[in-house]
Every structure is written in C-alpha cells, then in structure tokens.
C-alpha cells in the first residue's frame, strides 16, 4: 500500500524498517485497519478497562465476525472474543441452510484453516486458534456441508494465492502455481510415469518411474512449509493453512493411502 501511495509498483516491503519508523516517503507512518479505528470511540468514551473487560486471554475487546457460506443466517456480528466456534455456526448462524451436516468451517478468510466439527469447542481467541493450527485473521467464517470436496477447496486456496500474488517473492510467485498443478495431479491419482523430460536418458539423475499420490502429498506438504516460512508476506505465508488443514482433516478427499492417513492422524 505504501509503495502504491508513493506511485511505485505495488509490492510488499521487507521489514524492518517498520512503517512506524520509516514508512510513507521514508517518514514514520502508522498503518491501521478500520477495525482498530472503529474501536477507538468506544475506548475513548468508556475507558480502556471497559473495552478490555470484553474478551479472554490475550484477545481483548470485540471482533466483527462475518458469517457466510452454507448457513441459515449469514451476516456481520460483532461480539466479544471467547465465543466458541460451535456457538457461532449453530446458534448465531443457525446451522447449514442445506440442512446437511457441517463438514468444514474456514475461519479467518480465504487463507484461513478449515476446521472440522470436532474443533467446535474452540473459543474465538487468537492463541486458541493458533494452537489448533488455525487463525482468526479478519474474522471471516465460511461454512461447508458434507458435499464439499476439500481437494477442490485446497486447490482454490492456491488459485487465490496465484491470482493475488504480486510476484516479488519466489515461494508465492512460483509456489502457488506449482501447488495448483500438484493438486491437479493428486486429483488425477498421481503420475503413472515420469514426464517426457525426466524420461530422457540425458536426464540421468531424474527418477524414471511415476509418483504416487502419497509422494505428491509429501511434495505439497514440503511446498507448504516453504511457502509458510519462506514467503515475504501473509499471502504466501498463510496459503498453507487452508491447504494443509484440508489434507490433515480430510485425507480421504485427496486419495491418500491408508498408511498416510494413519501417519497424519
């Protein structure tokens, strides 16, 4: 955003320096989202303690939550941190609109993790979701019923990353496209044979056999590690959340072998 405001190519800046020290045109700059600014009047009117009394643990105050997807009552609800995921989906959202059982809930936005029903006890709290390999993100919640194909959802996450990528860092620029391709191959049941280039005798070091679904899953897992820890910003860094949570909780949607499923559980 700061690059764009300066009239430059919209790319992520490496930090440090933090914008608060060296931001727009090299001057100290405070960057806040609307959520923060919207909380200011309440805090000024009622005091910091009153605001902090809402919430739990280190997650204090309130959060506007966007309920969407396969839900009876979608919409925007502001509530204090600490409410459980189950309460949000079933009580405030009224369960699925289709009437079918919930399969997955994506929490945090398009790059949030997919949570199974067994996570419904999780309290809406930054630390609790981090501990469950998820995130609160911007508070978006999307509900899917049992007809959802989690492989397609994982693919969508990579597509989203590829479409939004600025292209500056390698894990995001190349990784998102390779991620889509690997997931496509998983859908096709892995590779029966080495590709034409690998098959050439000149490619002495390349494997001459195909790659199983398990091998492809291990590749996507390594790719997600590279993207998560290697990306310059949260786009590439968070894309692994939906992908890896989908594989972890619904390995059957990916055609993983029984051994692989067992390893994951």
Partner 1 sequence: MTYQPQKDFGTPASKASDIVTLSIDGRDVSVPVGTSVMRAAAEIDNNIPKLCATDNVKSFGSCRLCLIEIEGRKGTPASCTTPAEDGMVVKTQTPHLQRLRKGVMELYISDHPLDCLTCSANNDCELQDQAANVGLRDVRYGYEGANHLGEAKDTSNPYFDFDPSKCIACSRCVRACDEVQGTFALTMDGRGFASKISAGLPTDDFLSSECVSCGACVEACPTATLQEKAVAEIGKPDRTEITTCAYCGVGCTFRAEMRGEQLVRMVPWKDGKANRGHSCVKGRFAWGYANHQDRITKPMIRESIDQPWREVSWDEALGYAASEIKRIQSKYGRPGVGVNPLRGQNNVQGACDMGSFPHELSGYRHVSDATTRALFEEDWGVPIDSEPGLRIPNMLDAAVDGEFKALYVQGEDILQSDPNTKHVSAGLAAMECVIVHDLFLNETANYAHIFLPGSTFLEKNGTFTNAERRIQLVNKVMAPVNGMEDWEVTQALAHAMGLDWNYSHPSEIMDEIARLTPTFAGVSFARLKEAGSLQWPVNEAAPDGSPIMHVDGFVRGKGQFVVTDYVPTDEKTGPRFPLLLTTGRILSHYNVGAQTRRTANSAWHPEDLLEMHPTDAENRGLNDGDWTRLSSRSGETTLRLTVTERVAPGVVYTTFHHPATQANVVTTDFSDWATNCPEYKVTAVQVAASNGPTDWQEDYEELSEQSRRIETAEAAE
Kindly list the residues in this chain that would bind partner 1 in the complex (CB under 8 A): 9-10, 14-16, 162-171, 173-178, 181-182, 191, 194-198, 203, 205-207, 211, 215, 219, 222-223, 225-226, 229-232
Q: What is the DSSP string of 200-217?
A: STT-TTS-SEEE-HHHHH
- Least Å from the CB of residue 233 to partner 1: 10
- Least Å from the CB of residue 55 to partner 1: 23
Cβ proximity to partner 1: between 73 and 229 the closer is 229
Calculate helix-pair angle for 170-187, 213-230, nearest 10 degrees: 160
Helix (H, G, I), strand (E, B) or coil at 43: helix
- CA–CA separation, 72 and 222 (whole Å): 38
- Least Å from the CB of residue 198 to partner 1: 6
- CA–CA separation, 23 and 31 (whole Å): 9
- CA–CA separation, 58 and 237 (whole Å): 23
Cβ proximity to partner 1: between 74 and 210 the closer is 210
Cβ proximity to partner 1: between 146 and 181 the closer is 181
- Least Å from the CB of residue 157 to partner 1: 15
Helical spans, DSSP H, in the chain = 2-5, 34-46, 48-52, 85-86, 126-131, 150-164, 170-187, 196-199, 213-230, 234-238, 240-249, 258-264
Cβ proximity to partner 1: between 97 and 212 the closer is 212
CA distances from 220 to 7, 196, 256 (A): 37, 22, 12
Q: Do the beta carbons of residue 88 and residue 108 sit within 8 Å?
A: no
Cβ proximity to partner 1: between 53 and 222 the closer is 222
- Least Å from the CB of residue 259 to partner 1: 19
- Least Å from the CB of residue 250 to partner 1: 23
Cβ proximity to partner 1: between 87 and 164 the closer is 164
Cβ proximity to partner 1: between 202 and 265 the closer is 202
- Least Å from the CB of residue 166 to partner 1: 5
Cβ within 8 Å of residue 228, ≥6 positions away: 237, 238, 240
């Amino acid at each position: 955003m700061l690059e764009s405001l300066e009239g430059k190519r919209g790319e992520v800046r490496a930090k440090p320096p933090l914008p608060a020290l060296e931001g727009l045109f090299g001057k100290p700059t405070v960057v806040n989202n609307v959520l923060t600014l919207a909380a200011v009047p309440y805090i000024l009117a009622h005091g910091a303690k009153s605001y902090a009394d809402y919430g739990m643990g280190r997650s204090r105050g309130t959060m506007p939550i966007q309920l969407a997807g396969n839900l009876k009552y979608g919409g925007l609800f502001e509530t204090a941190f600490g409410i459980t995921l189950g309460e949000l989906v079933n009580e405030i959202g009224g369960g699925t609109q289709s009437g079918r059982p919930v399969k997955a809930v994506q929490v945090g936005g398009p790059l949030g993790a997919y949570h199974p029903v067994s996570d419904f006890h999780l309290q809406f709290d930054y630390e609790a979701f981090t501990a469950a390999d998820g995130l609160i993100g911007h508070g978006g919640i999307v509900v899917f019923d049992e007809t959802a194909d989690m492989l397609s959802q994982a693919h969508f996450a990579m597509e989203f990353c590829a479409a939004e990528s600025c292209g500056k860092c390698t894990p995001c620029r190349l990784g998102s496209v390779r991620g889509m391709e690997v997931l496509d191959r998983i859908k096709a049941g892995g590779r029966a044979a080495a590709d034409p280039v690998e098959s050439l005798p000149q490619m002495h070091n390349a494997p001459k056999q195909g790659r199983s679904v398990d091998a492809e899953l291990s590749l996507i897992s390594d790719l997600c590690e590279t993207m998560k820890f290697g990306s310059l910003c949260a786009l590439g860094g968070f894309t692994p959340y939906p992908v890896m949570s989908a594989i972890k909780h619904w390995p059957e949607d990916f055609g993983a072998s029984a051994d692989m499923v067992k390893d994951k559980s």
